[in-house]
Amino acid sequence: YAPLAEIDPEVQNILDKETWRQYSGLELIASENLTSLAAMEANGSILTNKYSEGLPNARYYGGNEWIDELEVLCQKRALQAFHLDPAKWGVNVQPYSGSTANFAALTALLQPQDRLMGLGLPDGGHLTHGYYTAKKKMTASSIYFQSLPYALDPSTHLIDYEGLKKQARIFKPRLIICGASAYPRDWDYTTLRAVADEHDAFLMADIAHTSGLVAAGELADPFEYCDVVTTTTHKTLRGPRAGLIFFRKDSLKAKDLEKRVNDAVFPACQGGPHNHTIAAIATTLLQASQPTWKEYAKQVVVNARTLGDELVSRGYKLQTQGTDNHLVLWDLRPLGLTGSKLEKLCDLVGITINKNAVSGDASAQVPGGIRLGTSALTSRDMLADDMKVVADFLHRAVQVALVLQKEAGSKLLKDFVRVASTVEEGKVGAKTVIDLRRE
């Protein structure tokens, strides 16, 4: 045994630089978080050595005594963290990620070419919810199933439940998926269940983004209404990168969801489970069941609301003008600035954000907005007052971006980047960038 730094200083050096980037900058990407050291220790453990295809006590490999104990523990903690009755709900903790969890769930619930409806990607939905473009079926969820997106109401930017109802009457889906990657409001599960029931369809919630808040009771409970709930474990839930699939054992629609989901994960979609990840999920779920978790989740929401309010008070436009959860969607279009430019500028000053489509964007390639999330900063114990400072940094970044765009004399991103990098070298007189970097 020799440490990484000795065996591979090159990789160690990259790790060191990334550690510095994560902890010295401001991490505002809504799908990211700062996982606990305990979970990372489990994730980097000896469990990575073990093969364990199958389920606890029914494996295709020997030597799984402790792996069985671990997976059962992880399942138990998952049900506890989401306050689920083990007689009514079960969980598969093996999916490698949110995307594979979703595809396994579709495999469990549907036959090839069955119909599904999910929130459209440009309206905040996820790729795995049936996304396709006019030119191409882009994702397995639209290649192997027929999908139709539902949308936001263009005036309120809330889910258009009436529109969904009407579309469903024509399309007659077998499955309705709710959940999103960029939707700042909560979901009306009662209405969604009623629409699904009208067509004898399954209802599945993908709570990848919000599961940490759902576990804490900060958002409406999808488990009351859905047949299946999927989630990633690394966003607001703050664990390792992986996925979970919860299934209702007493679903009125199918009595065999447990077998269907388990068979869909393995052997239909995956091979051996990543046991080191399952250990880290178990540790994360233990943390999510502690009283302190509620404080964290509450603060995530307070911080997102404060950040949103602070931007609005500086005259900026947010989609739905606020948030119920951990993220805000900032519409930069009134400023004549694209999300890509602000993202580039913020990278230069150690603020990590991502460009995002806002409802009604003409092009998904050049989105007019930014998605901001407060989970990672909250995990660093930042409070509402800190969000005011963050909002101020963002405000100044916009001002600088506007100066640079003017200086570039062009709206093209490449010209913006060229001018921004000369600012870095101190060649352009936009002193605020330098000041911003110092803070």
State the residues that interact with ligand PLP by CB under 6 A: 31, 97-99, 102, 126, 128, 179-181, 206, 208-209, 232, 241
Query: Has 241 been annotated as catalytic?
Result: yes
Q: How far is the CB of 232 from ligand PLP (least distance, A)?
A: 5
Please report how close the Cβ of residue 150 comes to ligand PLP at its closest, in angstroms.
Answer: 15
Q: What does each C-alpha distance from 329 to 227, 298, 358, 367 come to in angstroms? A: 29, 19, 7, 12
Task: Pick the closer one to ligand PLP by CB: 177 or 201.
Answer: 177
Tokens of 333: 């279009």
Is 439 one of the catalytic residues? no
From the candidates 32, 160, 206, 343, which is the catalytic residue? Answer: 206
* CB nearer to ligand PLP: pick between 300 and 401: 300
Find the catalytic residue in 59, 77, 174, 235. 235
Q: Which is closer to ligand PLP, CB of 179 or CB of 222?
A: 179
Please state, in angstroms and rounded to a whole number, the distance separating the CA atoms of residues 139 and 343.
26
Measured from the CB of residue 191, what is the shortest distance to ligand PLP in angstroms? 20
- Nearest residue to ligand PLP by CB is 98
Overall residue count recorded for the chain in this entry: 439
| Nearer of residues 299 and 354 to ligand PLP, judged by Cβ | 354
206 given a catalytic annotation: yes
What are the φ and ψ backbone dihedral angles of 66, each rounded to 5 degrees? -80, -30
- Shortest reach from residue 215's CB to ligand PLP, in Å: 16
Beta strands 89-92 and 58-59 are unpaired
Helix (H) or strand (E) holding 91: strand 89-92
For 91, phi then psi, to 5°, come to -145, 145
Residue of 107, 232, 233, 284 marked catalytic: 232
Can you tell me which residue has the tokens 């971006």? 401
Is 218 marked active-site? no
φ, ψ at 431 (rounded to 5°): -60, -30
* Catalytically annotated residue among 241, 249, 253, 333: 241
DSSP state of 114: -
232 is an active site residue: yes
CB 208 to ligand PLP: min, Å: 3
Measured from the CB atom, the residue of 243 and 416 that comes closer to ligand PLP is 243
Q: Give the separation between CA 113 and CA 102, rounded to whole angstroms.
A: 16
Distances, alpha carbon 23 to alpha carbons 29, 307, 358, in Å: 14, 20, 29
Catalytic positions are 51, 53, 206, 232, 235, 241
